[in-house]
Amino acid sequence: MGTASSGILYPWLDEPWQKLNAYLASQRLPQALLIHGVDGIGKTYLAEIFAQKLLCKHPEIFACGDCAGCRLFLAGTHPDFLRIEPAERGKPIAVDTVRHLIANLSLKPQYGGYRIVVFCAAHQLNISAANALLKTLEEPGENTVMLLLTDMPSALPATIFSRCQRLPIALPDDAVAARWLEEQGTGEATAVLLATARHAPLKALALAESDVVERRRTAFSEYVDVALRRQEPITLAERWSTLAYEDLVDWMVSWTIDLIRLRSVPDSPRLDNPDLRQGLQALVRRLHLKSLFGFLDLLLQAKRALNGQVNRQLLLEELLIHWAQLGQSPQADWYLS
């Protein structure tokens, strides 16, 4: 990834970057700004290059990269840049973390300029932490800017959501994302990587350096086996326990959305998983549309539950059992071919 000093900006971030700079130029910078978009779109990168610009002594379009403020920021030691995030993936941001932040904010910025707080995965604030933060969001202190980042804005407490101005980051057009990825050297794998990353280019680039595409294809084949009753859901859940639960639920969400598309429009040209079209089409007429929508709701609830204290293995077992049962009701056209 580039840095602010290098003047690198991902093409799909140009519009939100212009909005941030418009806030700055008009001297109406929000004290609490919610930046939201899917995982892998570049929210953290956008927040950090803007934070560096705010802390820079000689900013232009981007931070200069050479002043004392930039050097401290790039070294990760600027005292007026604070990052709040879960201690571990899937864990909540605890109230003690917020209380410690509030104590820090009671002091003046050490360099006399802006002080920036970035909340990574803001939707993982637990209830006590969110409640403790409310007054600070309303009155964070002079020259203090709070940037809350999330890919699940609906999971934020309403009290937090209502106190923030909002800056959405939209997914780029697939052609734009594919061109950028090809420039990074992804080659023939570009389309599959984008599909696996659900069209988020930075996530797709990260996947290019792993074997996740092959693992996803294997998982889909096993998922089909459960639907066709060639595989027991509990057995598969145990086998999948070595994989990331967040990835598994994301894959199941994308497969279900594609099944809904194909059930509604059999020749739908747009799929999140174009490389799996043949397998999806083999399944789609075996499933009732209403059942698919119900299963999608369950998956989205599971996605939210993964941010809390949930038994992940049990959750996965329940999802796979429900998937295995989708076609068993008399109303489902399971046996159509």
| Structural domain spans, the chain | 4-168, 211-328
What stretch of H or E contains 312?
helix 312-325
**Quick one: tokens of 45?**
């990168």
For the 211-328 domain, the top CATH level (class) is mainly alpha
What pLDDT is recorded for position 7? Answer: 55
Q: Report the alpha-carbon distance of residue 262 to residue 115 in Å, rounded.
A: 50
SS3 124: helix
Dump pLDDT digits (tens) for 58-67. 999 999 999 9
Quick check: pTM over 0.85? no
What pLDDT is recorded for position 195? Answer: 83
**Quick one: tokens of 203?**
């996530």
What pLDDT is recorded for position 328? Answer: 59
Give the number of C-alpha atoms closer than 13 A to the C-alpha of residue 118, restricted to the C-beta side. 19
Distances (CA, A) of 35 to 119, 252, 327: 10, 26, 40
Task: Yes or no: say if 250 and 198 are a contact pair by the CB < 8 Å rule.
Answer: yes
Dump pLDDT digits (tens) for 68-95. 999 999 999 999 999 999 887 778 899 9
**Quick one: tokens of 21?**
């700079």
What pLDDT is recorded for position 15? Answer: 95
Q: Report the alpha-carbon distance of residue 253 to residue 209 in Å, rounded.
A: 23
Q: Give me the count of residues in the chain.
A: 337
Q: Among the residues of the chain, which ranges form H helices?
A: 14-25, 43-55, 68-75, 95-105, 127-138, 158-161, 174-183, 190-196, 201-207, 212-227, 233-239, 245-264, 277-284, 289-305, 312-325
Report, as ranges of residue numbers, the positions in the chain whose pLDDT lies below 70.
1-7, 327-337
Instruction: Output the CATH code of domain 4-168.
Output: 3.40.50.300
